[in-house]
Amino acid sequence: MTDLGARRGGEPVVYQPAEDSHLLAATVTPEIGGDELVLEVGSGSGVVAAQLRSEAGATVVATDVNPHACAATAARGVPVVRADLVAPFADGVFDVVVFNPPYLPSHPDLDREDWLEVAVTGGPEGRAVIDRFLHDVARVLAERGRVFLLVSSLTGVDSVVETAAANGFSAAAIGEESFPFETLTVLKLWR
């Protein structure tokens, strides 16, 4: 992994908690038991992982591709691995996987030149990272494991649900919040 243009104005660029982060954490926290092992993919600042740990009492680990996000997550006391999605983990390990993916559509010629771009953009339809995630996440889930995925109307919720189904998942929307420019939906996925 390369050290992309990691700084703006001398400060590391880490995706900061916003409406999507807060919706995901608030929706998922009551869905998790204290005896569960949870993976947050793309932890950014670590706020979601830390809330799941403190409020649900679950054991939480996290991943992020951005080394600055890993440092921010670790500073919140959450064990974190610098990794692309779920790549480093063994099969059948996690009871729950939580992901607030990069979902904003981007121009095909956009050079993902800094960590903030990597954190928020997901290709021309906004689904490039989501599609890769859905292709591999079942591998790391325990038998009755479930996934909580935040999706934007800009990404196409129905298209994400179709991709999830093609990868063996059932889906239900369990949380939603609307804004003038998009609607955010938290999907619960299970096999």
Q: What is the DSSP string of 126-143?
A: S-HHHHHHHHHGGGGEEE
All residues at 6 or more sequence positions from 138 whose CB lies less than 8 Å from its CB, including other chains: 167, 168, 169, 191
The long-range contacts involving 133-138, CB below 8 angstroms and separated by at least 24 positions, are 133/41, 133/85, 133/86, 133/99, 133/101, 134/160, 134/163, 134/164, 134/167, 134/169, 135/167, 136/85, 136/86, 136/87, 137/41, 137/85, 137/86, 137/97, 137/99, 137/167, 138/167, 138/168, 138/169, 138/191
Q: Is the per-residue pLDDT at 103 higher than 80?
A: no
For the segment 11-69, what is each residue's pLDDT rounded down to a tens digit? 558 877 788 899 999 999 999 999 999 999 999 899 999 999 999 999 999 999 889 99
CA distances from 28 to 3, 51, 136 (A): 32, 10, 21
Taking residues 170-182, report their average pLDDT: 96
Beta bridge partners of 148: 98, 188
Taking residues 135-141, report their average pLDDT: 98
Among 2-16, 44-58, 83-97, 170-184, the minimum mean pLDDT is found in 2-16
Residue 120, SS3 per DSSP: helix
Residue 190, SS3 per DSSP: strand
All residues at 6 or more sequence positions from 170 whose CB lies less than 8 Å from its CB, including other chains: 189, 190, 191
Write down the pTM of the prediction.
0.89
3-state helix, strand, coil in the chain (%, to 5): 30, 30, 40
